[in-house]
Amino acid sequence: MASTGKIELVRNIGISAHIDSGKTTLTERILFYTGRIHKIQEVRGTTGDGATMDHMELEKERGITITSAATTVGWKDFAINIIDTPGHVDFTVEVERSLRVLDGAVLVLCGVSGVQSQSITVDRQMKRYRVPCVAFINKLDRSGANPYRVATALREKLGHNAVMMQIPIGLENDHDGEIDLVKMKAYYFDGEKGERIREEAIPADYVEKANEYRAIMLDKVCMFSDEMTELMLDDKEIPEDLLVSTIRRATIKREMTPVFMGSAYKNRGVQLLLDAVGRYLPSPLEVPNFGTALATGEKVEVQSDVKLPLIAMAFKISDDQYGQLTYTRIYQGTLKKGDTAYNPRTQKRQRVGRIVRMHSAEKEEIDYASAGDIVAMVGVECASGDTYCDESVNVAMESIFVPEPVIELALKPEKQDDLVKVSKALNRFMKEDPTFRVFVDPESNETIIKGMGELHLEIYVERIKREYKANVVIGQPKVNYRESPTIAASFDYKHKKQTGGSGQYAHVVGDLIPLGEESEVNFVFENKCVGGAIPKEFIPGCEKGFAESVVKGPLGGFQVIRTQINLTDGGFHPVDSSEMAFKIASRAAFKEAFMASKPVLLEPIMRVEVETPSDFQGPVQGDLSSRRGLLLGSDMRDDYVVIIAELPLSEMFGYSTDLRSATQGKASFSMEFSKYRPVPSSIQEQIVSRHREEQAKGNK
Q: What is the pLDDT of residue 87?
A: 47
Report CA-CA distances (Å) from 224 to 197, 221, 227, 230.
31, 6, 9, 12
Q: Nearest 5°: phi and psi at 232? A: -70, -40
Q: Are residues 457 and 412 in the same domain?
A: yes
From CA 322, how far away is CA 307, in angstroms rounded? 31
From CA 411, how far away is CA 535, in angstroms rounded? 45
Could you tell me if 168 and 178 are in contact, meaning their C-beta atoms sit under 8 angstroms apart?
A: yes
The verdict on residue 694 lying in a domain is no
Give helix then strand counts, H and E, for the chain. 16, 39
From CA 379, how far away is CA 39, in angstroms rounded? 32
Task: Find the helix or strand (DSSP H, E) in which 466 lies.
Answer: helix 454-467
Question: pLDDT digits over 572-605, tens only?
Answer: 988 888 999 999 999 999 999 999 999 999 998 9
From CA 70, how far away is CA 214, in angstroms rounded? 36
From CA 686, how far away is CA 689, in angstroms rounded? 5
Task: Work out whether strand 559-560 and strand 504-514 pair parallel, antiparallel, or are unpaired.
Answer: unpaired
Q: What is the pLDDT of residue 52?
A: 46
Query: Which among 351, 368, 397 is the end of a domain?
Result: 397
Count CA atoms within 13 Å of residue 82 on its CB side. Answer: 29
* 3-state SS assignment for residue 662: helix
669 pairs with which residues across the strands? 610
Q: Are residues 195 and 278 in the same domain?
A: yes
DSSP state of 671: E
Report CA-CA distances (Å) from 517 to 230, 520, 677.
50, 8, 9
State the pLDDT confidence band at 47, using cuts at 50, 70 and 90: very low
Nearest to 637 by CA among 163, 280, 155, 109: 109
The verdict on residue 348 lying in a domain is yes
Instruction: Give a three-class secondary structure readout of 406-441.
Output: CEEEEEEECCHHHHHHHHHHHHHHHHHCCCCEEEEC
Q: Are residues 199 and 258 in the same domain?
A: yes
Query: Which among 366, 397, 428 is the end of a domain?
Result: 397
**pLDDT at residue 62 is higher than 70:** no
Percentage of residues of the chain with pLDDT beyond 90:
31
| Number of domains present in the structure of the chain | 5
**pLDDT at residue 69 is higher than 80:** no
Q: Are residues 293 and 280 in the same domain?
A: no
Q: Are residues 52 and 86 in the same domain?
A: yes
Task: Find the helix or strand (DSSP H, E) in which 395 lies.
Answer: strand 395-397
Count CA atoms within 13 Å of residue 122 on its CB side. Answer: 33
Count CA atoms within 13 Å of residue 253 on its CB side. Answer: 10
Q: Are residues 166 and 216 in the same domain?
A: yes
Amino acid at 555: L
Which residue range forms the structural domain that includes residue 432?
Answer: 407-480
Q: Are residues 280 and 293 in the same domain?
A: no
At 321, which CATH number? Answer: 2.40.30.10
* 3-state SS assignment for residue 75: strand
Q: Are residues 21 and 106 in the same domain?
A: yes
From CA 230, how far away is CA 74, in angstroms rounded? 38
Could you tell me if 220 and 163 are in contact, meaning their C-beta atoms sit under 8 angstroms apart?
A: yes
The verdict on residue 687 lying in a domain is no
Of residues 90 and 308, the one with the higher pLDDT is 308
The separation between CA 569 and the C-alpha centre of its own chain, rounded to angstroms, equals 43
Helix axis angle, 240-252 relative to 226-233, nearest 10°? 140
Could you tell me if 525 and 563 are in contact, meaning their C-beta atoms sit under 8 angstroms apart?
A: no
From CA 242, how far away is CA 225, in angstroms rounded? 9
Arithmetic mean of pLDDT, 214-240: 91
Could you tell me if 446 and 434 are in contact, meaning their C-beta atoms sit under 8 angstroms apart?
A: no
Task: Compute the C-alpha angle 480/484/490, nearest 5°.
Answer: 150
The verdict on residue 615 lying in a domain is yes
Nearest to 380 by CA among 302, 320, 468, 306: 320
From CA 267, how far away is CA 119, in angstroms rounded? 23
The verdict on residue 34 lying in a domain is yes
DSSP state of 57: H
Q: Are residues 59 and 137 in the same domain?
A: yes
Q: Nearest 5°: phi and psi at 208? A: -60, -45
Question: pLDDT digits over 495-544, tens only?
Answer: 998 766 678 899 999 999 999 877 778 899 999 988 888 998 999 999 99
Query: Which among 362, 378, 397 is the end of a domain?
Result: 397
At 466, which CATH number? Answer: 3.30.70.870
**pLDDT at residue 691 is higher than 80:** no
Q: Nearest 5°: phi and psi at 172? A: 55, -130
State the pLDDT confidence band at 50, using cuts at 50, 70 and 90: very low
Q: Are residues 388 and 438 in the same domain?
A: no
Q: Are residues 297 and 379 in the same domain?
A: yes
The verdict on residue 689 lying in a domain is no
**pLDDT at residue 304 is higher than 70:** yes
- Start-end of H helices in 355-418: none
The DSSP string of 84-137 is E---SGGGHHHHHHHHHH-SEEEEEEETTTBS-HHHHHHHHHHHHTT--EEEEE
The verdict on residue 304 lying in a domain is yes
Question: pLDDT digits over 171-224, tens only?
Answer: 888 898 999 999 999 999 988 888 888 999 999 999 999 999 999 999 999 999
Task: Find the helix or strand (DSSP H, E) in which 252 lies.
Answer: helix 240-252
Q: What is the pLDDT of residue 34?
A: 84
The DSSP string of 590-624 is HHHHHHHS--EEEEEEEEEEEEEEGGGHHHHHHHH
Amino acid at 219: D
From CA 157, how far away is CA 139, in angstroms rounded? 20
At 101, which CATH number? Answer: 3.40.50.300
Q: Are residues 616 and 592 in the same domain?
A: no
At 587, which CATH number? Answer: 3.30.230.10
> What's the start-to-end Cα distance of the chain, in Å?
65
Amino acid at 624: L
The verdict on residue 85 lying in a domain is yes
From CA 147, how far away is CA 164, in angstroms rounded? 9
Question: pLDDT digits over 474-483, tens only?
Answer: 888 888 899 9
* 3-state SS assignment for residue 5: coil
* 3-state SS assignment for residue 534: coil
Could you tell me if 505 and 542 are in contact, meaning their C-beta atoms sit under 8 angstroms apart?
A: no
State the pLDDT confidence band at 545, using cuts at 50, 70 and 90: very high
